Each structure stands twice: as C-alpha cells, then as structure tokens.
Amino acid sequence: MSGVAAEIAFDRATKRYPGRAESAVRELTLTVPAGAICCLVGPSGAGKTTAMKMVNRLIDITEGDITIGGRSVRSLEVTSLRRGIGYVIQQVGLFPHMSVADNVATVPRLLGWPKTRIAQRVDELLDLVELPADDYRGRYPSQLSGGERQRVGLARALAADPPVMLMDEPFGALDPITRARLQHELLRIQRELHKTVVFVTHDIDEAILLGDRIAILREGGVLAQYDTPEALLERPADEFVARFLGLDRGLKLLALRRLDELDLAPLDGVSAPAADGSTTLRDALSQMITLGTRSLVVLDGAGEPRGVVTLETLTGTPR
Amino acid sequence: MTAPGAAWVAQGGPVIPNFGEGSDCVTENRFFCPDWVRDNWSGVLQPALVEHVELTLIAVAFGFVLSLAAALLTHRYRPLERPFGAFAAVVYTIPSLALFQLLVPLTGLTVTTVEVALVGYTLIILYRNILEGLRSASPEVLEAARGMGLTRGQTLWRIELPLAIPATMAGLRIAVVSTIALATVAALVIPKGLGYPIFLALREAFNTEILAAGVLAILLALVADALLVLAERALTPWSRSRRVA
C-alpha cells in the first residue's frame, strides 16, 4: 500500500460509545476520490476527528465499513494499516529525543528500509518541505519554531510515501501568517504528490482553500452535505449548512474565482482603474468599493488591457 | 536481641589507642595530620575507599534493576502503583540501625545484610523517578507513535524509555549520593567501607582518621555525582541548550 493514491470510501461508518445514546458518527457514507483532499468540517461534537480516526483505526468502527483502494481497513493488521497511512496532528507530536532526521525516518525504519535509502529519503523530504537538509537534519524538535515543527511533521507523515494522509487540524496552532504559508505549501506538495487526504478543520475558510471536496458534519456525527466548495457555497443543502458557511458565503464564492476566468466586456475606450487578471473576484469587488468605481480594466500577464469587468458582472456571477 | 553495639565489637575486637606511635602531630591528636594520611593511605584509607565504592555500586545496581522492573510493571498495570509505592515508602522509613538489627538474625554479620538494607533505601527514589520518567512522554507524542503504527513494545523501547532517562538519572544521582553517605553505617555490621576507620577512630576520638575518612566519603559522593551528570549529558543530547541557528 504505497505510492499511488487510493480512493477512501466510508460506507455507513458508525461510531457509538457504550452508554451514550447519541452516536459520535452516524452512518457516514462518502467517497474521497483518489488524489483528492477532503476536508471534514463542522462544529465541535460533530465527530470530524472521530470520523478521521476510524480510517487508521485509532478509533474502531462500530458498524459499517471504510475501504482504502477497495480494501476494508479491518482486513489489515492494525500496525501495518497505520504504517501505510500518513498521520499529522495539530500538536505535531515530534519525538523530542530524536533529531529531525530520526523523526522523519520513523516509519521507513519500522518498514525495515536499508539505511542509505532512508538517509536519501530524509534529505529528499526535508527539501520538499523547504527545510534545507544540511541545516535541519541534526536539529532536535526543541530547536525548531512552530511552523518548522509542522513541516517536519508533514515530512515524517510522507516518509514512506503512503497513498493516504490523515491530517487533524495540522495548522490550527500556528499564527495566521505561518498558517497561510503552510496551507499553500500543502497545496504545492499535493500538486506534486497527489495523495488522498482527509483533512479535519473547524475553519471553513481553510476547508474552502484546501478542499477538493468538503464534508460538513453536524452534531451527532451526521453528514449535512458533501460537495465541492463551489457547489456548497452556491447551493447549501439546508439552513444549518448555510449558517455554517456564514453570511459572507457570496464573498467566499467570489474568492474562488479570478478575473481571468470571466468573459470580459470589450474595452471600447472605457477608462477605469486597472486590476491584474490574477485578482480574485472578491478582491476586485473590494477594489471597486474602495475606489468608488463600477468597473475595472483587467490586465493580462504582460500588463496589457484585456477587457472590462463591471459590478454587474461580479454580482451576477454567483447567479 | 543483639544490642546495636555488638556487631562492631564482635568484629573489631578490643581497640588499642594508637596515637602512641608516629609524629608529634599524631601523638598529640591535633586536628589534622597529613603525615598520618600519607602513612596509612595504602593500608587503611585506600582499601576502605575501594570497599565503599563496591558497597555503593552493588546497592545501586540491584536497586536500579528492581526499581526498573517494578516501574515497568506499574507502567503496564497501573493498580500496582499503590502496593509498590507503599512498600518502598515503608522500607524507607525504617531507621538504618533498626533495619540492620532486623536483618542480622536472618543474614548474619555479612555483606548481604548491608546490601539488603542499602538496596532497600534506594527503592523509593529510583522507583518513583523511573515511573515518572516513563510517564513523561506527552499524549501527542504517544498519539503520533500509535498513529504511525508503532507497536506497544516499540513505543516503550524507542519512545518512553529514552524519554525516561532524565528523570531516571536525577533519581540515580540522589540514590548514589545517599547510598555513599549511608554505606558508612555498614561498619556496624562488617569491617568494610569508609565507615570502618571512622568507627575505630571515633572510639579513640582520633581526629585525623575521622576527618580523612569523612572527607573521602564526601569527595566520593561529589565525584560520583559529577560522573552521573556527565553520563546524563552524554545520554540525552536532545536536552542540551536550545541552539538556534
């Protein structure tokens, strides 16, 4: 179970604790396509972490099943199941007595890789998470910043090239700037590696940014809606989802698109403030408000005017 | 019941004051006579020092092995903490003189008697410290270990035991230093260790010998402690100062 991404399928997966009336996760059915990031979001008590931990059996499924690449997680021996799944948690949980290199080498060592291959893999991964290997290999976790620690945590989870990654609010404890940087690095890494990722977060903006799919859970571990970010923002299934997305969901939707993607009106000698084509619709709207204008001239990559975007186009976009 | 004094009287026999021989310093029993130390180093002090080191090493080694085993069992089976802790605490409260007297009828005036007592006193500190050390791995660290597929044994061996080293070494330092101090009392039972010259000298109030043997015991404790500090540093490279490049 290594290398190529695998589909994760929840099939009426349920977790009930003895002596508690309400289930923690109830009949969760959803499929995460191979190579996609699925964000599990919801208020606390909605069972998102529980759902995630059922995948690597840190929590046992009461009823139903979960399959990875078609194989039930119950069919594998639990330690070998876990060694084939990358696991990243909020507090990172680096081993304080081991160097960065030894931390990253944990799973390859468990799998009995030869030493030279492990050393090579460690350097490769440190490069991937942008920690220069020569500088960082020998450091201990106490000598790293919070952001660096989570980079090492990510490298450690990726070490044995697992097809599946579980990430439990990995950036939740970081300051906003570091968090944003790591979110974008995760996207960059994902473009290279195409893992199937289950990503738990309580931050809907993070889910919209990272998720190819978002599953919104409500109290009692019931799936409220499972969709792409766009579909979710455009057509929330019910009042709960709409409230969870927030009153600014129109703006969130605008933030998902860039001026480049629009059909622009012809220039026709219009004179208006300029905006780069890579600007999000949300930022374009904000610019119109700030500048007190109803239209912007959109520039292409070379800085040449390409067309005009109007307030009507923007407000019309979400339909 | 044998009187506490009987042990050393039986072993040592009648003591003849010896400040009759040697230098004026010795004859006049001045505060400290370096020449006596020079003359008696290889005959009295050095052998006593070596015996003292042996008594201490054996006691701490046995105490460590027993405590480690008890702590590992407790780490696995939590309910054992009360009985083990209580046993170690009760042993610790027995005055050493009384403990020797309790043991002499069983094991006689032997090294065994001394070692059983010395081992007994190391248990509480070593057991508690090793156990605390084994528990020092944070919940996140344990969750990460479990999530990555380490077995229980691998978690113990690769994570919990190494992380227990600092607390264990702290316990060993206290155990070694207190055993070195306590082992002087072994002379009540056997004519061994730095306590023996002190006992003999006490009966004659011979200052130099008391002082020399006493200072040796203190130096031994300081040196042992320093060695343990060095060992701890070598064993825990991760806990050295936070170097930020």
State pLDDT tens for residues B125-156. 999 999 999 999 999 999 999 999 999 999 99
Among A31-35, A276-280, B158-162, B215-219, which stretch is predicted with the lowest mean pLDDT? Answer: A276-280
Q: By CB neighbour count within 10 A (0-12 exposed, 13-18 middle, 19+ buried), where does B18 fall?
A: middle
User: Measured between CB atoms, does A81 come within 8 Å of chain B?
Assistant: yes
Confidence band, pLDDT 50/70/90 cuts, at residue B43: confident
Closest CA to A225 of A216, A233, A234: A216
On chain B, the residues whose CB falls within 8 A of the CB of A167 are none
- The b/e string for B201-212 (b: 16+ C-beta within 10 A; e otherwise) is beeeebbbbbbb
Q: Which two tokens stand for residue B74?
A: 């407790």
Confidence band, pLDDT 50/70/90 cuts, at residue A290: very high
Average pLDDT over residues A272-276: 91
DSSP state of A137: T
3-state secondary structure of A255: helix
Closest CA to A239 of A252, A225, A226: A225
Q: Each residue of A59-116: pLDDT tens digit?
A: 999 999 999 999 999 999 999 999 999 999 999 999 999 999 999 999 999 999 999 9
A143 closest CB neighbour out of B145, B165, B244: B244
Q: What pLDDT is recorded for position B20?
A: 53
Among A150-159, A172-181, A263-272, which stretch is predicted with the lowest mean pLDDT? Answer: A263-272
Q: What pLDDT is recorded for position A191?
A: 94
Confidence band, pLDDT 50/70/90 cuts, at residue B244: very low
Residues present in chain A in total: 319
Nearest CA in chain A to B164: A97
DSSP state of B79: G
Residues of B in CB contact (< 8 Å) with A are 138, 140-151, 154, 158-159, 162-163, 165, 236-239, 242-245
Strands lying side by side in the sheet with A305-310: A274-276, A295-299, A305-310
CA distance A310 to A316: 10
- As beta bridge partners, residue A258 has A280
User: Measured between CB atoms, does A107 come within 8 Å of chain B?
Assistant: yes
CA distance B232 to B188: 34
Q: How far apart are the first and last CA of chain B?
A: 68
| E strand intervals along chain A | 8-15, 25-32, 37-41, 63-68, 71-72, 85-89, 164-168, 196-200, 213-218, 222-227, 274-276, 295-299, 305-310
| Complex confidence, ipTM | 0.87
Asked whether the beta carbons of A215 and A32 are under 8 A apart, the reply is: no
The answer to whether the CB atoms of A83 and B149 lie below 8 A apart is yes
The answer to whether the CB atoms of A92 and B144 lie below 8 A apart is yes
Q: What pLDDT is recorded for position B97?
A: 84
Indicate which of A77, A80, A83, A97 best probes the interface with B, i.e. most B CBs within 10 Å of its own CB: A97
Average pLDDT over residues B70-81: 96
